[in-house]
Structures are given as structure tokens and as C-alpha cells.
Amino acid sequence: MILEIKDLSVSLNDKQLLSDINMKIKSGERHLLAGHNGSGKSTLVNTIAGNPDYTINKGQIIFEGRDITNESATTRALLGIFLASQNVPEIPGLSVLSFLKHSLTAHIHFQTGKDISMGEFLYRLETVRNILDIPKEWLNRSINVGFSGGERKRLMLLRLLLIQPKFAILDEPDSGADKDVQKQIIQTIGSMKKTTFLFISHQQDFTNKINPNGITTLSNGKLMIK
């Protein structure tokens, strides 16, 4: 079991958004988090990733047997939890290349205690860039500044393939992506056999192509029991 959520209740600005959530996800699953808009899906994935805006009133989040309920978002990321949010901010002045180098260096150092050389970083980056056919000039642009919705999704895939997280959370990855980019997202998920995926989507065709082998449904901040 890579992730277990026990009796989780969450609030935002004193308003309770989630109540008594229990969920288990096995390693290697492609797990769909379903429910109508406003059901609490984004709240749950942000809470799993450690977004400090949300307050855990009770319950636990267990990742690979470790209680991470009170861990920071940074620690959770280094442990292997990756979150691709719907709305990623623009960061003027921070290039894609610098961001990716910092991110991968932090992960490698956390996992091995060693630093990655610039040569090794560039080799890994070029490998995944070629897989995704991403223009080299994108690397010198500021994070998400001037990027279309589909281009932002492709940058997300670039980071995902470079980091190779243990657990990837994709919050509506198909939103704002055309059919070609959606196909690339589906292919990337299918290729990453060592990564467990938790994803949100409202498009049945996209979901069917991912073929989830686990489903959790929320309704008004609670589990929907069939």
C-alpha cells in the first residue's frame, strides 16, 4: 500500500470541506478520484500534497508506511509525491531550465545524499525532452510565462518524466489540452510503470483510455458509498 488515508477531515478558513475520508491506493495503481464539481476532489489532492492553506482537523495520511500528516509540502515532494495542479502560476525570471535543475538536484540529494553533475542533468533532460518533442528554446523561457494551456501540460510532463516520482497526482491533466496533448499525457502515464497515479478527470473518453484500476468517488466532501 503506497497511500492510506484514515478518517481524514479537512477545513479551509474554518469551513469544513472533507469529512471522514478513508482511502487506500496500492503501488502501481492508476486511481481515479471522481465526483462532481465542488465535491472536494481538489481539496483532497492538495491536502495529500501538503498545501498549507488546508487544515487537517483529524485523521492521518500514511505514505509508504510513514505518517506524513504533519510533514511540509517540500518533504512530501522529496519523499516522492508529485502534484500537477490545474492552475500553475507564472514565475517571471525563473527559467524552465533552472527550475528543473533545482528540482532534480534536490530529489537526487534527498534520495542518495549525493549531488548530480551538470552533465548528468543535461543528459537526463535531453532524454525526456526528446521523448516529448519539446522545443529546446522553451528551456530558457520563464516558468509558464506566455505558455498556452497545452504547452503548460507538456512542461508538466517534462518535469514528471525527469523526476520519476513514486506517486503522481494529476488534477484534471486533460483540461485545456487538445487531443494531441491528451494523447501524450495518456502515453506518458502508460509508460511510467514504477509510478502510482491518482488523477482527476471529467472527460469519460480520457478516463477510459487511462483505464483506471481503482476509483474513489466523493460527494459533498464525503465518500460516496455505492
Q: What is the pLDDT of residues 22-76, one digit of tens each?
A: 999 999 999 999 998 889 999 999 999 999 999 999 999 999 999 999 999 999 9
Question: Which helix (DSSP H) or strand (DSSP E) does residue 158 occupy?
Answer: helix 149-163
Instruction: Examine the pLDDT at 86 and tell me if it is beyond 80.
Output: no
Q: What is the pLDDT of residues 98-129, one digit of tens each?
A: 999 999 999 999 988 988 999 999 999 999 99
Instruction: Examine the pLDDT at 226 and tell me if it is beyond 60.
Output: no
d(CA 73, CA 173): 20
Q: What percentage of the chain reaches a pLDDT higher than 90?
A: 77
d(CA 197, CA 183): 16
The predicted model scores a pTM of 0.92
**Confidence at 176, pLDDT banded by 50, 70, 90:** confident
Q: Which CATH architecture has domain 3-223?
A: 3-Layer(aba) Sandwich (3.40)
Alpha carbon 223 to chain centroid, angstroms: 21
Question: Exposed, middle or buried, 115 (CB in 10 Å: 0-12/13-18/19+)?
Answer: exposed
Instruction: Examine the pLDDT at 225 and tell me if it is beyond 70.
Output: no
pLDDT at position 147 is 86
Q: What's the chain's average pLDDT?
A: 92
